[in-house]
Chain A
Amino acid sequence: MPLSPLPVGRAPETSQDTEKGAEASPIESVGSELRPPAQVMRLQRLGSFHQSRLSFLRILLRRMTGERWRLQRTYWDVDSTGVGTAIYEARGPARTYSLIAFARSLADADRSDRVIANAWDASFALFDGVPNAADIKRLSAQVPLQEAGRVSRSELTLSRANRSVRIFDHVRQALAAGRQPDPEVLNETGYLMRTTAVYGSGKFGAIDHRFLRDRDELAAPFQAEMLTVYLIRQFSFDIVEHLASADAPSQASTLAPASKRALGVGNATGLGMAPFLINHPVLFNNWILARETALQRIRSLPYATENTVDAFRDVVGRARQCASTWSSAHVGYQSRIKHYRQDLARLTDWMLKTDCFERRFPWDAVFCWAQDQLSIEGQEAVVSLLFEPHGELVDDLVAMMHADETDSHVLDGSMTVADMMAVIESGYASALETDFTNHEQSARFWYVSEEKLEPRIGERHCEPGADRESPLAASRDAVALYQVCRQFDAHDPIAVLVLQYPDLRHVAHRLQTLMRYPYAEIQDNLIAASLQPIDMLRCKLSFFGANHFDPRSDRWVRITLARHAPLMDELTQFADDWIYPPAA
């Protein structure tokens, strides 16, 4: 049963008892507060989130493993130059989904990560069911066009990927020579192919998500997109082996399973992902609330079992090993990663000395120590790590991570101006103290470029286009609404205000909608000169299940998904915590 959002300060009840008995209710006075939004909903913290058991790719693999889905390649017609078509089937207990891949081979100079690119090494559609010849013919004409084409209600996602210049040819040449590629080269990049967009939910004619959410396997967020990425990973192995075999039919080898597992799918994420968190605030609230609720349940456990302590020590060790392969050319992130490694080392040392596991509320002690001693990066890593040995407390929270966004809120015009002002005073206090006439506070504007409709950020005071600004500056607009409210009588209905000031309708609607959702609003100025959009990107990507964040600027980040994941024919052979590879 889905959990409904609760006011901050009260965690949902859990029926979990500990192995040491239930002399106390699981929710006691210590740690019965959820972390306050003022702490959690700051970009500095949101941009330090790590993947966890509640990340969407892990949710997908957990389901496919538990339900014993059958994944296989069912069609391969690719020539020696890498041009052709492939189909991968994912057969679940209720339905089958097919990834159709259209491969081509680009010249290096034609390869670009940008949304404004026009050609890719491979393009994909996730089909609802098993495609027939007519479907494949239709899609072969449309899918390679990507944004310039159209898909139909039979398709769930539309995506594309490019080969990694860094390692694809190295792997191809090694395999063609009959040997395995250099593991260090594999580890340095972590993927053979990199997606540059994965569109779902009604985009370019695909089926709307609202018509899929009754399907159990698609109820959790972005499951179709995660399945797409997971199958693209398999395609990336198959295409490099195919080309190596074409190069040297008599001596080419295939990529060892261990090498495949060490590779995921890359993704180049720009600003396209950032507006999502602002435009889907109730959904975002539910993701964060699930995460915070999981944390709170664990903190509230009166005792720790020997098994969970051992499992926690083990996963911390494996996380340290994972951290050793995380690198970035971004100067700021180099420092972050260094502190993160130091944090995990300090955590390890502390756990050897602490007796907190012998006392009550041990996990709360771990959490509090991390909050006190570690960087924000380390703190949020500890939050994710605490989830690992507590699947029975965490995994059911997936059920609350969705939101019905169709007509879920309609403006109530009877709300008084006074009540609206109170909402702004309580939820946007720091915004009310911000001078948005200050250039630094209003330096940026979000917009959509005419060129391929690519979301971008502009510099308000030196670029044209601010007159076409997207309505993504919630804090500034809340302040504007507050100032207009003061012109009205306290008892006037807000309906009168928005009729006279239609430019404020969107923010009145937003503020009213979000009253019940404490984790819906990012509590930073999203048009400030100091904004680091990669914080927003990383937050969303952490929920996807990404790791190895590698920013290339303040608004562009490379990541990997499905690295260390089991291969599609060995899902049931691996534990759910595959994302932390076994200790070396």
Chain B
Amino acid sequence: MTFDCSLGETEALVMRAGRGAGLSWGQAQEAGRAVVRLAAAGLPAVTWLASALPKIQATPYAGRCPGNPFDLSGAVANKPSPDTAPGVRPGLCPVALGCGLADALPINARRCGTAVFEFESVWSPALIAGFLLPVAKRLGLSVRLKFNQTEMVTMHGLISSNGDPQCLSIEQAEHVLVILKLSDDTEHAAMLATDSSPGMTRCEIDDQVYAQLQAYAYKTYVPSTAVTRAEGAGAGLTDND
């Protein structure tokens, strides 16, 4: 069973669920937007995000946040801090990583040539493409994401992927490469030729995933009391008009 959701609902639900799991409002908003970009391309990004939420909730920000993604000097593999809850494998949050990389793209774009970033132990790594899509488009970059024998590419506002869909949906990839370079016309033409993304206008969310996201979203709502019910919104409880 699935829920047929509008893209606006999907974005709002993901944002609220992300916040409920411990993301900042800003990162939760970005997560909502990134998931919708991927969902509009026909990818099961809502499920990818849902699988990362328990780990995000269990890990303090410092433990799941990448290091400085602008440092190209030592190619030190960014890896998660060991500061995680017992029973939770350390990993890098795809939301923090996606935001950090997207923020860094304009800085890195000024440096000529190809830039390569490596990361270890990334939760739901395919989500990263959703964060990079609009910035890559604006800067004329092609961004390749490689992990688990699969590859995603985003350029000119398009996303493509190859490899086994199950590989794409991996919950944690031990080695992720992000490769940036200026896109060229040949690459763009090839991508257009193979673009079979359906341009989704709706998002089908598995009902268990929907329930999970709703449970996280409810952590952002304030329980009602008799006083707040009567006074918080303004209108009276009964009609006298």
A-side residues, CB < 8 A to B, are 108-109, 111-116, 150, 152-153, 162, 164-166, 189, 194, 201-211, 266, 268, 270-272, 407, 410-414, 447-451, 453-458, 463-465, 468, 471, 493-496, 498-499, 502-509, 533, 552-556, 558
Contacts and interface: CB of A to CB of B under 8 A. Distances in A.
Nearest to A453: B221
A329 B36 CA distance: 46
Interface string B190-215: 00000000000110000000000000
B234 A414 contact: no
Interface stretch (B22-30, B84-92, B114-122, B162-170): B22-30
B136 to A, nearest CB: 10
A499 B96 contact: yes
Question: What range describes how many residues of B lie at the interface?
Answer: 35 or more
A267 B47 CA distance: 39
Contacts of A211: 201
Contact of B241 (A164, A206, A208): A164
A114 B61 contact: no
Given A493-B107, A503-B24, A411 B222 contact: no
A207 B202 CA distance: 8
B25 A414 contact: no
Contacts, number: 195
Given A152-B4, A456-B232, A499 B65 contact: yes
A451 B230 CA distance: 12
A455 B233 CA distance: 7
A449 B222 contact: yes
A450 B241 contact: no
Nearest to B229: A451
Given A407-B134, A503-B26, A533 B234 contact: yes
Interface stretch (B6-14, B143-151, B175-183): B6-14
Contacts of A113: 235-236, 239, 241
Question: Considering residues B7, B8, B107, B234, which has the most beta carbons from chain A within 10 angstroms of its beta carbon?
Answer: B234
B76 interface: no
18 contacts: A114-B236, A166-B241, A202-B6, A203-B6, A210-B8, A412-B106, A449-B224, A450-B223, A455-B233, A458-B232, A468-B219, A494-B103, A495-B107, A502-B99, A503-B25, A505-B27, A556-B234, A556-B235
B117 to A, nearest CB: 14
Contacts of A203: 6, 8-9
A498 B68 contact: no
A210 B107 contact: no
Given A112-B239, A202-B7, A206-B6, A456 B233 contact: yes
Interface string B57-87: 0000100011011100000000000000000
Nearest to B65: A499
Contacts of A553: 234
A498 B103 contact: yes
Question: Considering residues A194, A410, A458, which has the most beta carbons from chain B within 10 angstroms of its beta carbon?
Answer: A410
Contacts of A451: 224, 229
B234 A552 contact: yes
A413 B26 contact: no
A536 to B, nearest CB: 12
A506 B224 contact: no
A505 B7 contact: no
Given A153-B6, A208-B6, A410-B134, A468 B235 contact: no
Given A111-B238, A152-B4, A468-B221, A498 B233 contact: no
A194 B241 contact: yes
Given A208-B7, A407-B134, A555 B241 contact: no
A465 B225 CA distance: 11
Given A410-B134, A448-B222, A509 B103 contact: no
Question: Considering residues A268, A412, A453, A555, which has the most beta carbons from chain B within 10 angstroms of its beta carbon?
Answer: A412
A502 B222 contact: no
B158 interface: no
A454 B68 contact: no
Contacts of A498: 26, 99, 103
B124 to A, nearest CB: 18
B135 interface: yes
B55 interface: no
B234 A270 contact: yes
Contacts of B37: 407
